Structure 1
Amino acid sequence: MRIVSNPAILRIEFDGRPASAEQLRLPALVNYGHFTAMQVRSGKVRGLELHLQRLDASTRELFDAELDHDRVRDHIRHALGDDIGDASVRVYVFGPDTADAVSIMVTVRGPATMPSAPHRLKAVPYQRPVPHIKHIGGFGQIYYGRLAERDGFDQALLTGPGGVIAEGAITNIGFFDGTTVTWPEAPALQGITLQLLEPRLDGAGLPSRRSTVCLADLPSFEAVFITNSQGIAPVGRIDDLTFPVGVDLMKTLAQVYETVPWDTI
């Protein structure tokens, strides 16, 4: 069971126009850029402002340039057109070859949801470089992810020295001890779904905190779950340790996520 979108690419546009072979040479040959991934339903996105803030902050850091939010929204709308309401959309930002503004590539695939069956994670000794940026060129994530799949797992769980847990290869991870959700305090990408859930959990009677979590701590937790742009799912196994599905926990998380408003692109 892999977390994948519909593999069929419906559209690829560069700066608001169908991508040319010349333009596609940049992402094919240069692994320097960043992106955000979102699920679109009826032309709307959860946490749109967070996606735009992520893109702008990473553009400033990587290219010392600003990214106009309206320009991004225009390019997404254009790529969706009048005929696609539900989709998996990615917005990539690449550096300029000249003094012009950075380039924006938008890809549109079929809509996707997180597989609901309990996920199996394999701990690996790897952490993403510059983890706070959702950057392209994730060789290490792909390498360890494929190794995990060969061993019968769904995804790699990235860890640092001493078994400190950071994040899933393409997800954030949360741990539940029966009363409180713990998000790992470690260098990791702050996913949009995590950012939408975290401030809303306390209001649902589910307090959360940030704290260091090590592999050795796993037996102290009752349930584990993962999040990404496709949604939320339980974790049933990490290495040889199994976890029951926290039915009430997953129900609460789903209810909280459903309260997040959809923003018009």
Structure 2
Amino acid sequence: MTILIDGRPATTEDLTHQALVNYGAYTSFRVEQGGVRGLDLHLTRLEQAAVELFGESPGEAELRRLMALAVDGRDACWLRVSLFAPEIGHRNPSFVGRPRVMTVVSPPPPPLATSMRVTTVPHVREAAHLKHVATFGQTRARRAARAAGFDDVLFIDDQGCVSEGATWNIGFIQGDRIVWPQALMLAGVTQSLIQRGLEEAGLSSEIRPVRLDEAGTLDGAFLCNAATPVCPITAIGDVTFAADPAILSRLERAWSSQPPQPVAV
């Protein structure tokens, strides 16, 4: 694992701040032959989060430069890009300015699973539209789900509608149509990549509220994130789904039809 801060080796002081202050945002993804699927979406996510959380963005050119420096010619790796400001602490949160950029390079992780059984809990992540570093609620809910015999957890809002998983998005299958939940949640990059390729894969889609009590009327469900492009969900609580290999293959084709975009410009 290699950790750089603004392109230089991380210091103990840098990492101490990261350990003690969980204010920041990040994105993470697989690098394939110097490219990243959905790099434009990851860059937009970072820039928007930087402006919202710190008041200023490092800018796309600088983010690309630091990503390329971190990857340093590696053929394949996992890259996490985080934004933080050492000037911001629990007693002094008022700093406005450009955040620092931490890059962490590690081996690509395996997919979450080949299939998932999930339970549900009422929960909406704080600032759900951001991929931020405050993950206590997600980790606690996932621990409880596994203690109850499930693989993971799916969040439900106060209206009884499905939103997102602990670290993934969910899509439902209704014939040849993919139904994406409409709720307070993170817009996933992998979800967007699948969406971009659906027409080519012969599928259509819609975004609408999906109530939990409606799940049993749908044909199937799957999860997706950067490490796991498509994984069937075989149960949500007591509701079970049969995985359809043909539909899952078309979803994987929709994702893979979006080629990696080069990090270096």
When the two structures are superposed, what TM-score results if normalisation uses the length of structure 1?
0.92
**Residues 123 and 157, structure 1, Cα contact 8 Å, conserved in 2:** yes
Which residue in the other structure is 2:248 paired with?
A: 250
In structure 2, what residue type is equivalent to 1:64? G
**Residues 118 and 235, structure 1, Cα contact 8 Å, conserved in 2:** yes
2:149 corresponds, among 122, 138, 152, to: 152
Which residue in the other structure is 1:205 paired with?
A: 202
Partner deviation per Cα, 1:147-174 (whole Å, 9 max, x = no partner) = 1111122211011114210001100000
Which residue in the other structure is 2:119 paired with?
A: 122
Which residue in the other structure is 1:232 paired with?
A: 230
Q: How many angstroms apart in 2 are the aligned matches of 1:18 and 1:201?
A: 41
**Residues 116 and 234, structure 2, Cα contact 8 Å, conserved in 1:** yes
Which residue in the other structure is 1:192 paired with?
A: 189
Which residue in the other structure is 2:90 paired with?
A: none
Which residue in the other structure is 1:60 paired with?
A: 51
Matched residue SS, 2:198: helix
CA gap of 1:62–1:219, structure 2 versus 1, over 3 A, is same
Instruction: Point out 4+ residue stretches in structure 1 off by more than 6 angstroms.
Output: none
**Residues 120 and 155, structure 1, Cα contact 8 Å, conserved in 2:** yes
2:79 corresponds, among 85, 89, 93, to: 89
Uncovered stretches (5+) of structure 1, i.e. residues with no partner: 1-9
Which residue in the other structure is 1:35 paired with?
A: 26
CA RMSD of the aligned region, Å? 1.5
In structure 2, what residue type is equivalent to 1:29? L
Which residue in the other structure is 2:129 paired with?
A: 132
Q: How many angstroms apart in 1 are the aligned matches of 2:97 and 2:56?
A: 10
Identity %: 34
Uncovered stretches (5+) of structure 2, i.e. residues with no partner: 88-94
**Residues 56 and 97, structure 2, Cα contact 8 Å, conserved in 1:** no
When the two structures are superposed, what TM-score results if normalisation uses the length of structure 2?
0.92
C-alpha deviation, 1:96, in angstroms: 5.4
1:262 corresponds, among 246, 254, 260, to: 260
**Residues 144 and 156, structure 1, Cα contact 8 Å, conserved in 2:** yes
CA gap of 1:63–1:115, structure 2 versus 1, over 3 A, is closer
